Structure 1
Amino acid sequence: MARPARFITFEGIDGSGKSTQARRLADSLRRAGHDVVLTREPGGSPGAEDIRRLVLEGDPDRWSAETELLLFTAARRDHLEKTIQPALAADKIVICDRFADSTRVYQGITRGRLRAKVDQLHSLMIGCEPDLTVILDMDPAIGLARAKGRGGTEERFEDFGEDMQVRMRAGFLALVDEFPQRCRVVDAMRPPDTIAADIAALIEGC
C-alpha cells in the first residue's frame, strides 16, 4: 500500500461505529508496515483525558454550549501539543476518533449556534485540519440505541435524545459541501467488514 494520508479523522453521530472503524484502519495500516498513532477526542493526552471526564459525564445541563466550546478547545490544544504534532513530526500516521468537526457540529450547530465562535477559536488555538475525514453516516435512532446500549458512564450527549442526533447527522453531512477536499461519507448501516473495505479504498485513493 502506498503511503496514505498522514492525519485521518473519523466523524459521525453517536453510535455510528467510529471507534471500531478507526481501530480497524489502524490495525490494517500497521500490518502494511506503517507507523500509526491511534487516538481520540476529547482525550488523547493526559490533560485532555481529564477534560474528557468533565464534558462526557454527568447531567446534560452540566455545562452550557459556550463552556463546552472552551473545554473542548482546551482539550484539543493539549492533544495537539502532546500527541498529534509530535507524531506527525516523527512521520507517523495519526488516526483520530473525532476532531474539530465534532465541535463544529455539536457546539457550532446543534447546542448553541456558536459556529462563528467555534471557527474563531479553532483558527486561534488549533489551526490545522485533517488530510482526510471519514464521516460514518447512519440512522440517528439506530445510532442512539447503539450508543445507549454500551452501558458506560459517558452518555451525557446521548441523553439529549434523538432530536439532537438528527440535527447532528444533518450537520455532519453538511460538512461534505463545506470541506469537499477532505470529507468523505461512508454508509455505516452495513456490516463492519464492508464498511472497513470501503474506508480502505478511500485511503488508497488519497
Structure 2
Amino acid sequence: MFITVEGIDGCGKTTQLELLAEWLREQGEEPVLTREPGGTWLSEEIRRLLLRPGPEPVSAVAELLLYAAARAEHVARVIRPALAAGRLVLADRYSDSTLAYQVAGRGLERSWAEAVLAGATGGLRPDLTFLFDLAPEQALARAARADRLEQEDLAFFERVRAGYLAIARAEPERVVVIDSNGPVAAIQAQVRRLVAARLAQARREGDR
C-alpha cells in the first residue's frame, strides 16, 4: 500500500506521518518512510536546489520540471521497489503537491503538468492520501519560513490550499481531509483508525 500526506507548510503532516510510522512498527509492519522531494541522493540534491533561497526567482516551469525529475528518481529507486517487495510506503508529499503548488499556486497549465507527472511516475498513484487542512495564516505562523517556498505570501498559500481542496473534492475515495486545527494525539488517532481500516480491507481483498 502506498500512503501519502499532503498540506501546506506548517500543517503538521510530517509529525503525523512520523507518528503513523512509529505506530505501524508497533503493529509489526515495516513501513518505508520517505519524503519529496528527496528519498535518493539525486532527489535530495534537487531538494536543496529547490528550497534554498537564491539571488533571483525560479521560473514556475523550471520549478515543476525539477520536482518531476526528483519524483521520477524517487519512484524508480525507492517507491516502486518497496511496493514490489510488499512493503508499505509512507511518503511526505507526492504529485498532489505539484498540482497544488505549481498549478494552483503558480498558475501553470494543468493538463501539461499532469502529463509531465504521468511521465515522471509512470502513472503510479497513492492508495490513500491524507490532506492535513489548516488556514494559511495559522500554518504560516507555525512554519519556520526559512526555505524559498515558505517565504511566499499569504495569497500564494491560499491558492495552494484551494488547489488541495479541489483535489480532495474530485477524488474523495483516495483523499481524506483532516482538520489540523486540533490536538496532535486526536488527529493521529483519526489517522490510525483510517489506516487500520484500509489495511484490513486490503488484506481481505488479498485473501480472495
TM-score w.r.t. structure 2 length?
0.91
Contact 2:20 2:188 (C-alpha < 8 Å) held by counterparts: yes
Q: Superposition pairs for residues 125-204 of structure 1, below 5 Å?
A: 125-126=120-121, 127-148=123-144, 153=146, 155-204=147-196
One-letter identity of the residue aligned with 1:184: V
Aligned length: 197
Is residue 105 of structure 1 aligned with residue 100 of structure 2?
Answer: yes
One-letter identity of the residue aligned with 1:31: E
Aligned counterparts of 1:181 and 1:174: Cα–Cα separation in 2? 14
Aligned counterparts of 1:69 and 1:164: Cα–Cα separation in 2? 16
Aligned counterparts of 2:53 and 2:106: Cα–Cα separation in 1? 16
Root-mean-square deviation (CA, aligned residues, Å) is 1.3
- Check 1:60–1:128 CA distance in 2 against 1; reply closer, same or farther (3 A cut): farther
One-letter identity of the residue aligned with 2:195: I
Aligned counterparts of 1:80 and 1:24: Cα–Cα separation in 2? 23
Q: Post-superposition, which runs of at least 4 consecutive aligned residues in structure 1 deviate over 2 A?
A: 59-62
Match of 2:90 among 88, 92, 95: 95
TM-score w.r.t. structure 1 length?
0.92
Structure 1 stretches of 5 or more lacking a match? 1-5
Aligned counterparts of 1:144 and 1:181: Cα–Cα separation in 2? 29
One-letter identity of the residue aligned with 1:107: Q
Aligned counterparts of 2:56 and 2:126: Cα–Cα separation in 1? 31
Sequence identity percentage: 44
Match of 1:7 among 2, 5, 12: 2
Structure 2 stretches of 5 or more lacking a match? 199-208
Question: 2:18 maps to which residue?
Answer: 23
